[in-house]
Structure 1
Amino acid sequence: MRRVVIVTTKALIVILFAAIVFCQVVFVPVNATSFALAAPEFAALEVPGIIMVDALLLCGQVVLICVWALLSRVAREDIFDATALLWVDVIITSILAAGVLVIAGLVLLSLASAGSPFLALMGVIAVICAAGLALVVVVMRGLLKQATQLRQDLSEVV
């Protein structure tokens, strides 16, 4: 059962990673260009918008890579090792970076007098979700750290 779950999860990671790359390479630039043509007064936001959205998507890709690495450790039954905590730290950092990018995007839109109150509300909700997700992963990191310590203690006893 565990092997099936790991393989299925890795397959979904590959699909999601490919979809994110498609968005970075095609979807975001095409939409930014069409928006710049439709609203020339905001054309100056095209390049910064592409960079910020691509950076945000890159944060998601980093999380996917880290989850892949952690899944590989689970498959090798090597998850209860102190080095696994480094992967979790990268996940936390990436989630926080995504939250900072959303805040920076909101500030950029505000300075340009672009966007709507709805967009600002969605940005605030995204920041709250990022903070909440980061806190959940911090708790999970603590559990992994405790389990790792217990496993080390048990191996010393045996």
Structure 2
Amino acid sequence: MRRVSLLRNISGIEDEPEHHGKRFNGIVYRYTALRYSEDKMTVVTARFVRFLLTLLVVFSFLIEVVFVPLIGQSIISDFPEARPFFIPAFVWVVLIMGCGQAILVVVWRLISFVVERRIFTAAALPWVRAIIVISVGALTLLISAFIVANILGFTPPAAMYGLIGLSLLCLTFVLIMRTMLGLLRRATALHDELAEVI
């Protein structure tokens, strides 16, 4: 009843005149149809995004299992002095890829919240925090690799510039997600207040 009253107030319809009943029913119908259309679009978009996430996960595993060993062997054949660094570098790449895969899993869960219309609830906040924590872990790995490489004297320009670029990208992503977490908190608070009113 409170929602019906709110819709009447928004639409400017008074309770007394009976001839406004059809107009009010039309507004309610359009409101319901719009929500159904939005839900259907959300489900279709979510399925497409999940398909892309699945492709990314499969591709990342292929990189770990196939491409990284092949590239490593190619580098060792050209630069035999890099052989001692192969295993540590392989472990480091697996950890970095693991951070990316973990973020994809969290994004999958957040998409479920969107489909279930629970994204603006307190339950979604820990998942966004998880993305921030994982990203900070990846940033730590990148900075550690840069420091260790300089200590060991293994500083090919391409690798060093790559580490710097990835570190800056990761830091930017962390800051963006931190901002998004703040916005989500505000939106959640407003959503809860509106739910109490309705």
1:101 is matched with 141
TM-fit CA distance, 1:118:
3.6
- The CA distance in 2 between the partners of 1:127 and 1:92, in whole Å, is 14
| Runs of at least 5 residues in structure 1 that lack an aligned partner in the other structure | none
The answer to whether 1:114 aligns with 2:154 is: yes
| Runs of at least 5 residues in structure 2 that lack an aligned partner in the other structure | 1-40
Please give the root-mean-square deviation of Cα atoms over the aligned residues, in Å: 1.4
The answer to whether 1:38 aligns with 2:78 is: yes
TM-fit CA distance, 1:80:
1.4
TM-score between the two structures when normalised by the length of structure 2: 0.75
TM-fit CA distance, 1:66:
0.5
2:109 is matched with 69
The answer to whether 1:134 aligns with 2:174 is: yes
Runs of 4+ off more than 3 Å? none
State the one-letter code of the partner of 1:141. L
Relative distance call for 1:35 and 1:117 in structure 2 (3 A) is closer
State the one-letter code of the partner of 2:137. A
State the one-letter code of the partner of 2:58. A
TM-fit CA distance, 1:123:
1.5
TM-score between the two structures when normalised by the length of structure 1: 0.93
Stretch deviating more after TM superposition (117-126 or 62-71)? 117-126
The match for 2:52 among 12, 25, 41 is 12
State the one-letter code of the partner of 1:153. E
- Residue-by-residue CA offset, 1:16-49 (whole Å, 9 max, x unaligned): 0000011111211222233223322121101100
Stretch deviating more after TM superposition (78-87 or 112-121)? 112-121
Counterparts in 2 of 1:20-35, with a 5 A limit?
20-35=60-75
Stretch deviating more after TM superposition (92-101 or 31-40)? 31-40
State the one-letter code of the partner of 1:129. L
- Residue-by-residue CA offset, 1:38-63 (whole Å, 9 max, x unaligned): 32212110110000011001110011
